[in-house]
Structure 1
Amino acid sequence: MILFYRLTLCLVMLAPGILHAAQKSKNAKPNVIIIYTDDQGAIDLNCFGAKDLVTPNMDKLVGSGVKFTQFYGAPICSPSRAGLLTGKTPQRAGVGGNVSSMSDEAGMPTEQYTIAEMFKDAGYKTAQIGKWHLGQGKDKQPNAQGFDYSFGHLVGCIDNYSHFFYWEGPNRHDLYRNGEEVFYPGEYFPDLMVKEASAFFEENQSEPFFMYYAMNTPHYPYQGYPKWLEYYQDKGVEYPRDLYAAFVSTMDEEVGKLIAKLKELGLLENTIIVLQADNGYSTEERAHHGGGSAGVYRGSKFSLFEGGIRVPAAISWPGHLKEGEVRGQIAVNADWMPTLAEMCGIDLDTSDLDGKSLMPIIDNSKAESNHNAFCWKFGNSWAARNGDWKLLGHPFVNGEKFSAQDSLFLVNLVNDPGEQTNLAKQYPEKVKELEEQYAVWLTNNSTGKKEITDSDE
């Protein structure tokens, strides 16, 4: 009888561990979270070169995996998000410019196969938390694009306390859960995002999940925690950098809360986390004409100079990827879809994608870039890159005027990372070569065909 009681006691004591082991076995596939920040400068994390910011949580996240120093999004919000979610160029994803807030017809076409649909087809629970900006019509919303659960705002930005969109047309409330309007007046939107994400983690911790965590920070309106604003003002940081910096440190704090929740639930070691900004920092009036920094890189949001499209990016998976690794190969946000498919063992047809798996580069710092040749287009401006050379057509930087002779602007990014000197006259053959590359790209993207790059030929 004594032996029976001892055995019973042992089983009771072991039960939590047995259940946890069974849970981990059931959830053998890794979870995936993409943290997408908004209008963040190219160097605006300490680990990417900033000297005046407090960003310990994102610095730790980047340091726990692989950091990319030549990573590209798009020059504005909607195209960048479309490229991320489809694995294609924004043009082929059907979103060449920002999606209008005034039309239910505008947005990413539902026939596009998204990364959320990829994970859902592979048995994952999927969630979108935060900013959408890819269509507000019912057929364009997150739940119609592969997400089981969604919470956030549908258009470009909101006030973080009232959750109203103030910047185009009549003022209107913009906060939805699974397509139904919800109201949390006075509650801080970044905190609401953490709360919603945490609940999703708790409810789905026994099965694999994919979360697209699209932050509304540090996009205007700059509404960081008062303690951070006081901190930067006490440090003598000048306006508008003080407002922007306070919002970045607030964002860092929110990312820290998200990661802490994963750790609390025992999920962190089995979770792949991607961190990336969508485009460069804003110089719009509503962003106080600046505050962010691209360091030596010229340009900002809306520009195809490096400051508009080169963004902070990293991937972490504790125990699976080496820590503190740095990669300088050219990479783009369309690469995440095939990369994550490979990492998670998902069979994905990549024949119609422009993105390519980054795993060879992640595994080997000396691997060749997937995109030795690449092109971008926004409005009348375009850019073609091949190796170290980059040609800009009709370049744009807010507040700068370009002469007719600079309508074609050639740079060598190794010798001139700030893109200050136009070499078009000195290297006419290189100009011709890159013009031809862009012409082919434009034709293919206009007809919806897969982009042709050197690595495809």
Structure 2
Amino acid sequence: MKFRKLLTIALLLISGALIAQTKPNVVIIYTDDQGSRDLQSYGATDLITPNMDKIVNGGVRFTQFYAQAICSPSRASLLTGKNPQHAGVPGNIPSVPVTSKGLKGEQYTMAEMFKDAGYQTVHIGKWHLGDQEGMLPNEQGFDYSFGHHVGCIDNFSHFYYWRGPNRHDLYRNGKEVFYDGQFFPDLMLKEAKSFLDNMEDKPFFMFYAMNSPHYPYQGTLEWLNYYREKGVVYPRDLYAAFLSTHDEIIGDLLKKLEDLKLMENTIIVFQSDNGHSTEERAHHGGGNAGPYRGAKQCLFEGGIRVPAAIAWKNKLPAGQVRDQFAVNADWMPTLAELCGIQLDTETLDGKSLIPVINNSQSETMHRDGYCWQLNDMWVARKGKWKLIGNPYDTSMRDYKFTVDRWLVNLEKDPGETTNLAEKYPKVLAELEKQFSDWQENNKSN
């Protein structure tokens, strides 16, 4: 009897281990300030982006996918499955040595979800969700972390220079490390490869949070010369060189997964965190939103509509396009469903995209509506209608609006050029109420 009991326990342990091994790995490649159209697979004709295109074309590409307009809220939404106000991160976390702002420990993160399901969890790259106690990656569900904590760094000195005092910002599992003169994207790749070479015999979740093509633009000389020889002019040449440099890094990461024969059991999510920057530190531009108005730091389409795709070799549709509305908060419940993880979605704003991924004819909007807010600017979206309150346009920083309501029909006017607020007062009133109700229910912590 005792032998039979021990045998049963052993079989259960073996069975559990086999189940764990068959769960898919997950890699999220999150790029930084990459424009809505800055991929060949999204229509760019002047950029070389074969590795990102390999992910996009090898899976399901979304044409109407939304994030937030700036870095910290976008990351908070991704990792919690909630809108930024609901997650308690409505704006960027200040890049100062001491601040109480950040993603609070009571928020349940995607990393904690995977860790609770028996996954190894690793963060590599940019964090920008707080650097005080309880806010750092290792305290938010990541077993391993390497990267910088604030919004951006110089890629060779690893210093944050943009608001004093200047500070060194490179850490491994919360301990400061120094790699003077080494290119940060190369360091990220080295850390990822080391993790993959030494990972435990269980599935993993990797948040590969790139800091490119966010300023400072520091692409390789080879790519800079290439684009200048092709006649690409400033500042597009600087941006393009950095983008193609980071595409090569992504290619090396994909090759490592292939060499280790992990690709067929690894889900890859690709997404930019927001639109391209037109800030002074980004040379006032370089990125491209294509037909869309706006850029990073505003809620016009160019600030929040981003390239996004999901691929899983031989498991999900390949070479497919989906035009349905989706947001980055949707990834958490989507990945939970794909990985067979039980997740309480009642308090989430994200919804599983599996019906849309599996069926291009699934309903266009799998939610009643959605809202955004950044500073005084806000948006209420429902179907084809989008209402912008207190509009400002960071792609035309000198332009001043004379109205405080801007209503557009995105199906007919994706460039948001014509204000229909006076023509459709009932739609205006409905969307104003939608935002008012949302604001009441999503007061920031």
Give TM class, smaller chain. over 0.9
Verify the 8 A CA contact 2:328 2:350 in the aligned structure 1: yes
Cross-structure match for 1:90: 84
- Equivalent AA in structure 2 for residue 379 of structure 1: N
- Per the alignment, in what secondary structure is the counterpart of residue 96 of structure 1? coil
Verify the 8 A CA contact 2:20 2:118 in the aligned structure 1: no
Aligned counterparts of 1:140 and 1:104: Cα–Cα separation in 2: 11
Cross-structure match for 2:415: 418
Match for residue 389 of structure 2 among 390, 393, 396 = 393
- Per the alignment, in what secondary structure is the counterpart of residue 269 of structure 1? helix
Aligned counterparts of 2:366 and 2:159: Cα–Cα separation in 1: 41
Aligned counterparts of 1:403 and 1:170: Cα–Cα separation in 2: 36
CA RMSD of aligned residues (A): 1.4
Match for residue 403 of structure 1 among 401, 404, 410 = 401
- Equivalent AA in structure 2 for residue 354 of structure 1: D
Q: Does 1:291 align with 2:289?
A: no
Q: Does 1:376 align with 2:408?
A: no
- Per the alignment, in what secondary structure is the counterpart of residue 418 of structure 1? coil
Q: TM-score, normalised by structure 2?
A: 0.94
- Equivalent AA in structure 2 for residue 38 of structure 1: D
Cross-structure match for 2:300: 305
Offset at 1:370?
2.0
Aligned counterparts of 2:93 and 2:225: Cα–Cα separation in 1: 36
Aligned counterparts of 2:291 and 2:77: Cα–Cα separation in 1: 26
Q: 1:326 to 1:24 in 2, by over 3 A?
A: farther
1:228-247 maps to which residues of 2 (within 5 A)? 228-247=223-242
Verify the 8 A CA contact 2:275 2:302 in the aligned structure 1: yes
Offset at 1:397?
1.0
Aligned counterparts of 2:18 and 2:198: Cα–Cα separation in 1: 15
Pairs aligned (count): 426
Q: Does 1:166 align with 2:164?
A: no
Aligned counterparts of 1:242 and 1:212: Cα–Cα separation in 2: 29
Offset at 1:26?
5.8
- Equivalent AA in structure 2 for residue 420 of structure 1: T
Offset at 1:402?
3.3
Aligned counterparts of 2:230 and 2:327: Cα–Cα separation in 1: 36
Aligned counterparts of 1:25 and 1:393: Cα–Cα separation in 2: 50
Aligned counterparts of 1:99 and 1:148: Cα–Cα separation in 2: 23
Q: Does 1:342 align with 2:337?
A: yes
Cross-structure match for 1:191: 186
Offset at 1:447?
7.0
Offset at 1:25?
7.2
- Per the alignment, in what secondary structure is the counterpart of residue 292 of structure 1? coil
Cross-structure match for 1:17: none
- Equivalent AA in structure 2 for residue 412 of structure 1: N
- Structure 2 gap ranges (5+): 1-16
Aligned counterparts of 1:371 and 1:116: Cα–Cα separation in 2: 25
Identity of aligned residues (%): 63
Aligned counterparts of 1:293 and 1:273: Cα–Cα separation in 2: 24
Verify the 8 A CA contact 1:151 1:177 in the aligned structure 2: yes
Cross-structure match for 1:43: 37
**What do the CA deviations read for 1:343-362 (whole angstroms, capped 9, x no partner)?**
00000010100000000000
- Equivalent AA in structure 2 for residue 402 of structure 1: K
Offset at 1:164?
0.4
Aligned counterparts of 1:401 and 1:440: Cα–Cα separation in 2: 30
- Structure 1 gap ranges (5+): 1-22, 449-457
Cross-structure match for 2:53: 59
Aligned counterparts of 1:185 and 1:30: Cα–Cα separation in 2: 36
Aligned counterparts of 1:283 and 1:306: Cα–Cα separation in 2: 14
Offset at 1:400?
3.9
Cross-structure match for 1:357: 352
Verify the 8 A CA contact 1:138 1:179 in the aligned structure 2: no
Verify the 8 A CA contact 1:24 1:206 in the aligned structure 2: no
